[in-house]
A and B are shown apart, each in its own frame.
Chain A
């Protein structure tokens, strides 16, 4: 049943509210409707990102069955028999270790995008990961993450005035690792990280109230105090949500079977509980590693087994269990996700039964509201491929991000363009019904305290910056979309009050800029567009 039609059938509603683009009459005395109202209004769509560190061997994950003989000629020492591969369709198959995902595909809850990458691949783990996290071009260095920029677009005032009644929860949660570049925006963490939902959080009132100066020491004092504050302010809501819900699926793998990808089990169980516990958090980011399979990625006695098969099974079993869990928890309409890795691996295997750093690779996406498909063509395997040959890309990885932003989070195409700094094609992978209303976005944008704004925006070459000081040191800086400082407008102590400054960017190239406001430990970043 779709959300809209269900809501329409609720009888006896009284007060008028807008939910999911529909006008709904809500009667708060009706417990059934009240429960539903709470669920619909306080929560909306969730994106789960599964990061696979190390560079996954796409050609040993999704198999071009119509190229099997060519593949055999370059991967004879490790390619399994074609009969072992599970068919997704006539031309394309998936590793038998991913049987659970193949079943999800049959149920219409999983799909594959073939040959995802970008022009001029980088083969360094670290640089390639940064490219994926920041959504940059191969030769472009950005110091914000794509998801961080989206959250800054959706919740423009964050972190000033957060948490608040409308958004009491973290915007994003990274489970099991530090925040990472993906969820950052100009040095601000747009989400929080947890290793374990029952972390002790015992901050008390603080004697240490010396103001942080404008120097290097002050910068770090401010940072540390902000972390202390964040730990404090979200600790309770995370723990409360975690304790409110239970995992219902029995399909999660047993954690101690020695497969490193099974560190996803605990992470995804936490994610399911936090969503079910009612957090309004938009993005959950989980990760696992071990995909850097330079050697011994298959068992020489059985090519369907070995290190890589174990990793794939870990991904597959855990995502399938998570999907089962959120279905049982009644959340499956609201949750979708995808996997990524910093690169694929070489076409030709090496003599140590492994594969070296390569280029394009398949992306797996999942959810109840996805369109199950094998998107794109099989890669063409050149039987003469040598040790240096790589697969060309078919889809830009930023198309995946753009599609989720546009069709899952309902960001208009023009805004997707400004978040990703370029136009990328939208892929037919998501059911587009039930987008959020623009009214909901407007509320999010106004949420929190608007400490800095630019008008007019877009502007020709002059505009005005309105900002607030809560007392103490204020800094206003202008950055371009590479994160380079273009100008410092102001850097001084200002008494509490509202202020304006003119900004003249004549002579600077047109495009996206950011104004960054800093006041004591607070900071806020707003986008602006110079059009001429």
Chain B
């Protein structure tokens, strides 16, 4: 592109107050709770971003069996209830446990997202899942490979992009999803080679001029890899299936020739040459930076954004050897990220909407060790809510990811239409009004999983705020926390009068009722007894507003 290359990404130098902190946290966490706000208040922008990027190296404990507990002795018998299945091969002759294990894997993932720590990991795992797509249920099928893919994304999420591309190329789930395991010298399969360029590294922008022949040549470089199903599903290189001829690339890649090799190390050597060639092209860094900004900042990349943000950010990314942390740090401390016109201008994804609501509300998860059946059940219900709204975690619609993250001209608007909007309302109903409950069903082996419920408690929520007995201060704080956009005093007054004052005209009505209820939840004062219900109605209503779908 013909833009002059500026020196560096312009940092944000304006005030870093509550509004800026909220904007940063909304985009980097699933939901912002009063506790999140308290944890970061008073810190500088650099301190907060460093904290968000400080991600524990150790992976979380693996998914466990919470499925079919009553059938422990006939189904997936190698895996006792409450223990992990990731190291146990399905037992021949038994019913295939992969369907149940895939469910377990997704419920494990949902719990990690909905109970995330205060860092960028979960948002980044979703970013990478949407960028380096594999599915779970169809092509990949084997739960253990879907799990390992997820572990790879979480361990690499702020590491080195070049290394991640190497690892994902040989990832078992990816070898299955894009047919890498079927790609042989005799019958090259272009699926991965195409997406490696079109979707993963270079894109289809005007500066990405690789050719159909480059796709074919890359496919030949990648021939020979498959999965050793007998040996713990390890990816292996089979030299006899590898194309040993030279592979020539177009002028877009400076007519690079990758020498065909026949050795046992040919597979890794040629992939490294291929990735070096792709990563030598400056478009790779630009493509990734655009994708990050689209996901975290705003979808429209006009000439100004390209020149002032993408170009210098990409230059930083490239010259740092594709290390992700310095690039992300520059992005989240940039002037562009904090532009006021972008604040509140993105429509929440189903994950943001659903998990964000659960986490923001601080809905409590049962903590007893033996309540894992209930925990996995609640996760399955959250998964279902997102699925209904158009985001099936683990199974994006296709290799390009969810269209709302890339499809021009509508982008995030694609999340909400006349089919999915009512599903969002149903989620509000489930999490705030009706709640989800395990009941006393016989399917739960452990008593600790019975009669557990998962529902927002608006009273506990407002107790954490300042002066909740003052209806004006309370509404101000709720509006600030729930909406990324400003709301007029007229709307605030309407909310207060309709839900807190019940049509009365003096604020004292609410103050008296609230104080009486806070003082004694078992009060017989009829007005005080209405407080939890009033708050529930208020929250449910506030979550159906168009404003709540923005962040």
Does A pair with B?
Answer: yes
Interface residues of A (CB under 8 A from B): 53, 123-127, 143, 178-179, 181, 184, 187, 189, 192-195, 199-202, 206-210, 215-217, 219-221, 223-225, 227-228, 230-231, 234-235, 294-295, 350-352, 354, 356-357, 387-388, 483
B418 on the A face (CB < 8 A): yes
Q: Does the CB pair B418–A193 fall under 8 Å?
A: yes
Closest chain A residue to B484, Cβ basis: A217
Q: Does the CB pair B418–A221 fall under 8 Å?
A: no
Q: Does the CB pair B419–A178 fall under 8 Å?
A: yes
Kindly list 6 other residue pairs between chains A and B, CB separation below 8 angstroms, not including A210-B487, A216-B345.
Answer: A184-B410, A195-B419, A200-B422, A207-B498, A216-B341, A220-B346
Contacts of A208 in B (CB 8 A): 487, 491, 545-547
B425 on the A face (CB < 8 A): yes
Closest chain A residue to B426, Cβ basis: A200
Closest chain A residue to B416, Cβ basis: A227
Can you report 20 residue pairs joining A to B where beta carbons are below 8 Å apart?
A124-B198, A125-B399, A125-B400, A192-B418, A199-B419, A200-B426, A202-B422, A207-B494, A207-B495, A209-B491, A215-B341, A216-B345, A217-B343, A220-B413, A221-B547, A225-B546, A227-B418, A231-B418, A351-B186, A352-B179
Contacts of A387 in B (CB 8 A): 187-188
In the A-B complex, list the 8 residue pairs whose CB atoms are closest, starting with the nearest.
A351-B187, A224-B546, A216-B345, A352-B182, A350-B187, A192-B418, A193-B419, A208-B545
Q: How far is the CA of A259 from the CA of B420 in the complex (A)?
A: 25
Per-position 1/0 for B373-415, Cβ under 8 A of A: 0000000000000000010000000111001000111101110
Q: How far is the CA of A31 from the CA of B463 in the complex (A)?
A: 66
Contact of A207 among B410, B422, B491 (CB under 8 A): B491
Contacts of B398 in A (CB 8 A): 53, 125-126
B204 on the A face (CB < 8 A): yes
Contact of A224 among B347, B487, B494, B498 (CB under 8 A): B347
Contacts of A194 in B (CB 8 A): 418-419
Contacts of B188 in A (CB 8 A): 350, 387
Contacts of B418 in A (CB 8 A): 189, 192-194, 227, 230-231, 234-235
Contact of A231 among B341, B421, B498 (CB under 8 A): B421
Q: How far is the CA of A483 from the CA of B410 in the complex (A)?
A: 13
B216 on the A face (CB < 8 A): yes
State how many angstroms separate the Cβ of A296 from the closest Cβ of chain B.
9
Contact of B409 among A178, A234, A483 (CB under 8 A): A483
B243 on the A face (CB < 8 A): no
Q: How far is the CA of A209 from the CA of B204 in the complex (A)?
A: 41
Q: How far is the CA of A124 from the CA of B422 in the complex (A)?
A: 33
Q: Total contacts A to B, CB within 8 angstroms?
A: 139
Q: How far is the CA of A223 from the CA of B345 in the complex (A)?
A: 11
B94 on the A face (CB < 8 A): no
A143-B408 contact in complex given A223-B413, A350-B187, C-beta closer than 8 Å: yes
Interface residues of B (CB under 8 A from A): 179, 182, 184, 186-191, 194, 198, 204, 212, 216, 298, 300, 341-347, 390, 398-400, 403, 407-410, 412-414, 416-423, 425-426, 485, 487-488, 490-491, 494-495, 498, 541, 545-547, 549-550
Q: Does the CB pair A124–B204 fall under 8 Å?
A: yes
Q: Does the CB pair B546–A221 fall under 8 Å?
A: yes
A123-B425 contact in complex given A208-B545, A231-B418, C-beta closer than 8 Å: no
Closest chain A residue to B198, Cβ basis: A124
Contacts of B491 in A (CB 8 A): 207-210
Contacts of A179 in B (CB 8 A): 417
State how many angstroms separate the Cβ of B95 from the closest Cβ of chain A.
16
Q: Does the CB pair B417–A189 fall under 8 Å?
A: yes
State how many angstroms separate the Cβ of B339 from the closest Cβ of chain A.
9
User: Of residues A187, A350, A357, A483, which shows the largest number of chain B Cβ atoms within 10 Å of its Cβ?
Assistant: A350
Contact of B416 among A123, A126, A224, A350 (CB under 8 A): A224
Q: How far is the CA of A217 from the CA of B487 in the complex (A)?
A: 12
User: Of residues B184, B409, B417, which shows the largest number of chain A Cβ atoms within 10 Å of its Cβ?
Assistant: B417
Q: Does the CB pair A356–B422 fall under 8 Å?
A: no
Q: How far is the CA of A210 from the CA of B545 in the complex (A)?
A: 11
Q: Does the CB pair B182–A220 fall under 8 Å?
A: no
State how many angstroms separate the Cβ of B131 from the closest Cβ of chain A.
14
Q: How far is the CA of A457 from the CA of B188 in the complex (A)?
A: 55
Contacts of B346 in A (CB 8 A): 220
A221-B409 contact in complex given A179-B417, A199-B422, A210-B487, C-beta closer than 8 Å: no
Q: How far is the CA of A234 from the CA of B417 in the complex (A)?
A: 12
Closest chain A residue to B488, Cβ basis: A210
Q: How far is the CA of A124 from the CA of B212 in the complex (A)?
A: 11
Q: How far is the CA of A219 from the CA of B298 in the complex (A)?
A: 13
Q: How far is the CA of A234 from the CA of B419 in the complex (A)?
A: 11
Contacts of A206 in B (CB 8 A): 545
Q: Does the CB pair B546–A294 fall under 8 Å?
A: no
Contacts of B545 in A (CB 8 A): 206-208
Q: Does the CB pair B488–A227 fall under 8 Å?
A: no
Contacts of B390 in A (CB 8 A): 178
Q: Does the CB pair A294–B182 fall under 8 Å?
A: yes
State how many angstroms separate the Cβ of B136 from the closest Cβ of chain A.
15
Q: How far is the CA of A230 from the CA of B408 in the complex (A)?
A: 22
Closest chain A residue to B388, Cβ basis: A195
Q: Does the CB pair A220–B408 fall under 8 Å?
A: no
Contact of A356 among B190, B400, B403, B414 (CB under 8 A): B190
Contacts of A234 in B (CB 8 A): 418
Q: How far is the CA of A202 from the CA of B433 in the complex (A)?
A: 15
Contacts of B410 in A (CB 8 A): 184, 187
Closest chain A residue to B403, Cβ basis: A178
A295-B194 contact in complex given A217-B485, A220-B413, C-beta closer than 8 Å: no
Q: Does the CB pair B409–A294 fall under 8 Å?
A: no
State how many angstroms separate the Cβ of B438 from the closest Cβ of chain A.
24
Closest chain A residue to B425, Cβ basis: A202
Contacts of A483 in B (CB 8 A): 409
Contacts of A295 in B (CB 8 A): 179, 182, 189
Closest chain B residue to A144, Cβ basis: B409
Q: Does the CB pair A127–B426 fall under 8 Å?
A: no
State how many angstroms separate the Cβ of B297 from the closest Cβ of chain A.
11
Closest chain A residue to B339, Cβ basis: A216
Q: How far is the CA of A380 from the CA of B422 in the complex (A)?
A: 51
State how many angstroms separate the Cβ of B538 from the closest Cβ of chain A.
11
Contacts of B187 in A (CB 8 A): 350-352, 387
Q: How far is the CA of A219 from the CA of B344 in the complex (A)?
A: 11
Q: How far is the CA of A125 from the CA of B426 in the complex (A)?
A: 33
Q: Does the CB pair B417–A221 fall under 8 Å?
A: no
Q: How far is the CA of A227 from the CA of B414 in the complex (A)?
A: 11
Closest chain A residue to B342, Cβ basis: A216
Closest chain B residue to A349, Cβ basis: B187
Contacts of B407 in A (CB 8 A): 181
Closest chain B residue to A127, Cβ basis: B204
State how many angstroms separate the Cβ of A220 from the closest Cβ of chain B.
6
Q: How far is the CA of A313 from the CA of B452 in the complex (A)?
A: 45
User: Of residues A194, A195, A209, A483, which shows the largest number of chain B Cβ atoms within 10 Å of its Cβ?
Assistant: A195
State how many angstroms separate the Cβ of B346 from the closest Cβ of chain A.
8
Q: How far is the CA of A250 from the CA of B393 in the complex (A)?
A: 36
State how many angstroms separate the Cβ of A114 from the closest Cβ of chain B.
25
Contact of B421 among A53, A210, A228, A352 (CB under 8 A): A228
User: Of residues B423, B426, B487, B547, which shows the largest number of chain A Cβ atoms within 10 Å of its Cβ?
Assistant: B547
Contacts of A192 in B (CB 8 A): 417-419
Q: How far is the CA of A395 from the CA of B512 in the complex (A)?
A: 77
Contacts of B426 in A (CB 8 A): 200
Contacts of A388 in B (CB 8 A): 216
Contacts of B186 in A (CB 8 A): 351
Q: How far is the CA of A36 from the CA of B410 in the complex (A)?
A: 42
User: Of residues A123, A187, A295, which shows the largest number of chain B Cβ atoms within 10 Å of its Cβ?
Assistant: A295
Q: How far is the CA of A130 from the CA of B444 in the complex (A)?
A: 48
Q: Does the CB pair A220–B198 fall under 8 Å?
A: no
Q: How far is the CA of A447 from the CA of B288 in the complex (A)?
A: 47
Q: Does the CB pair A123–B409 fall under 8 Å?
A: no
A217-B194 contact in complex given A143-B408, A294-B179, C-beta closer than 8 Å: no
Q: How far is the CA of A126 from the CA of B400 in the complex (A)?
A: 8
Contacts of A209 in B (CB 8 A): 490-491
Contact of A221 among B494, B495, B550 (CB under 8 A): B550
